[in-house]
Structure 1
Amino acid sequence: MKAWFTRRYLDLLGSIYIYNEHRGYTALDRVLEAVKAKHPEATELIAAVEKHRADERKHYTMFKRWFQLQGRMPIALDRTFGHIDRFIEITFGTSIDNLDTDAIIASDDLFERLCRVISLTEKRGLKQVDILLDHPLVKQDKALHRIFEVVHVDEPDHFLPYDKWLAENARRMPNAWERWIDGMIHSELLFIKLPLLFLWLGAPRLKDWRDAGEHNPRPVPRALKAA
């Protein structure tokens, strides 16, 4: 029973993370489009967002390899399990897919809001990885623990550029309301969605990888080659 519980928990954890990592790097394509159009001179910020995108893609690839080594596909989750999805929907009133990039390019206020959402999401991610690295069930899976170690190293670079842009452009940092939204989304996942998903034993799994057809020629991360 304990072994089943551990496998089930790690399976759900991996499925949630691989969804969010894929959502992260594909959403950052929209951010890059906005940054390059709005601030073409901001080469440092553009480079930072490009690195952020590459890291998210790398993390996705690592989780994908983790599932492949177990011979199964992730559970087919949707945007209700995406932190950035929920944050965008609440603060912008639309989904990531329907986000008006042209409007964000044209408005400093909207671009500022987007920077705050990304910054809070990434800071939340770092806090969660801190917890997972010390989680007894995660420690039992050396390959998964190794993935979270890599994520932990990469994560600070993901929110600092957005905080820097806000500071350099005299824009405010996240307020109490935005921090409350961030906490609410996390609590909703942790205390409602995750337990319900745990009990849904017949949850369907992906039939194809989310990156099928994408052109992302990256090698398999070394962290998993000896797993």
Structure 2
Amino acid sequence: MVGRLRTRYLDLLGSIYIYNEHRGYTALDRVLEAVRARAPDDRALIAAIEKHRADERKHYLMFRRWFEMRGVMPLAVDRACGHIDRFVEIMFRRHIDELDTQAIIASDDQFEKLCRVISLTEQRGYRQVEILLRHPIVRRDRVLIKIFRIIERDEPSHWAPYDGWLAAHGKRPARWWEHAIDTFIHSELLFLKLPLLFVSRVARRTDWADRDDPAERLASPFSLAAE
């Protein structure tokens, strides 16, 4: 019984993470489009976001490999478990896939709002990874611990370019109410959605989220051993 509960917890944890990592790098494609249009000469910012995107893709592949090694597919969680999804919905009043990239490009207010959302999301992710690295159930899985240590190493560079852009352009940092929204989203997942998912029947995915990325899928598979 204890073993099954542990497996269920790790299944849910991995499924939520692989969803968020895929959502992260695909959403960053649109951020890159906006930045390249707004500031084509800001090569440092573009390079930093490109690295962020590459890291999110790498993290997705690590979780995919973890599921493949276990011989199961991720559980079919959706945007209800996506931190950036919920943050965008609250701040922009529309789903992330419905964001008007051209409007964000044209508006300093919209772009700085997006920078704060991404920065807060990445900082939340870092704090959560620090907690998970001490979690007794997670610590029993050596591969998962290795994945989270890699994420812990990568994460600080992910919010830096957005905070840097805000500071360089005289924009304000996140205010208390934006931090409160971030806390609410995290608490909603931790204390409401995760327990409901734990006791509910959740189907497994039948395919991988990156099935429509043919060019990237042709690349060599990510190997945890390489890290």
Decide whether the 8 Å contact of 1:20 with 1:83 is kept in 2.
yes
CA distance in 1, matches of 2:156, 2:226: 25
Q: Does 1:209 align with 2:208?
A: yes
CA distance in 2, matches of 1:213, 1:88: 24
Secondary structure (helix, strand or coil) at the match of 1:220 reads coil
- Whichever residue aligns with residue 132 of structure 1, its letter is L
CA distance in 2, matches of 1:4, 1:46: 45
Decide whether the 8 Å contact of 2:48 with 2:161 is kept in 1.
yes
CA distance in 1, matches of 2:175, 2:161: 18
Partner of 2:79: 79
CA distance in 2, matches of 1:121, 1:219: 29
CA distance in 1, matches of 2:207, 2:86: 24
CA distance in 1, matches of 2:176, 2:221: 40
| CA deviation after TM superposition for structure 1 residue 5, in Å | 1.2
Partner of 1:94: 94
Q: TM-score, normalised by structure 1?
A: 0.97
Identity %: 60
Cα 1:188–1:224, aligned 2, differ >3 Å: closer, same or farther?
Answer: farther
Q: What number of residue pairs does the alignment pair up?
A: 225
Q: Does 1:43 align with 2:43?
A: yes
CA distance in 2, matches of 1:161, 1:91: 20
CA distance in 2, matches of 1:218, 1:160: 28
Secondary structure (helix, strand or coil) at the match of 2:96 reads coil
| CA deviation after TM superposition for structure 1 residue 225, in Å | 7.1
CA distance in 2, matches of 1:142, 1:159: 27
Deviations 1:21-66 (A, max 9, x none): 0000000000000000011111000000000000000000000000
Partner of 1:125: 125
Please identify runs of 4+ aligned residues in structure 1 that moved more than 2 A.
217-226
| CA deviation after TM superposition for structure 1 residue 218, in Å | 4.1
Gap runs ≥5 in structure 1: none
CA distance in 2, matches of 1:196, 1:224: 35
| CA deviation after TM superposition for structure 1 residue 211, in Å | 0.2
Decide whether the 8 Å contact of 1:62 with 1:220 is kept in 2.
no
Over the residues paired in the alignment, what is the CA RMSD in angstroms? 1.2
CA distance in 2, matches of 1:41, 1:161: 15
Structure-to-structure mapping, 1:20-169, within 5 angstroms = 20-169=20-169
Decide whether the 8 Å contact of 1:129 with 1:148 is kept in 2.
yes
- Whichever residue aligns with residue 120 of structure 2, its letter is L
| CA deviation after TM superposition for structure 1 residue 151, in Å | 0.4
| CA deviation after TM superposition for structure 1 residue 141, in Å | 0.4
Cα 1:218–1:151, aligned 2, differ >3 Å: closer, same or farther?
Answer: farther
Q: TM-score, normalised by structure 2?
A: 0.97
Moved more, 149-158 or 212-221: 212-221
CA distance in 1, matches of 2:220, 2:93: 37
| CA deviation after TM superposition for structure 1 residue 224, in Å | 4.9
Decide whether the 8 Å contact of 2:18 with 2:63 is kept in 1.
yes
Deviations 1:101-141 (A, max 9, x none): 00000000100000000000000000000000111111100
Decide whether the 8 Å contact of 1:66 with 1:224 is kept in 2.
no
CA distance in 2, matches of 1:42, 1:26: 21
Cα 1:218–1:132, aligned 2, differ >3 Å: closer, same or farther?
Answer: farther
| CA deviation after TM superposition for structure 1 residue 222, in Å | 3.5
Decide whether the 8 Å contact of 1:143 with 1:224 is kept in 2.
no
Gap runs ≥5 in structure 2: none
- Whichever residue aligns with residue 208 of structure 2, its letter is W
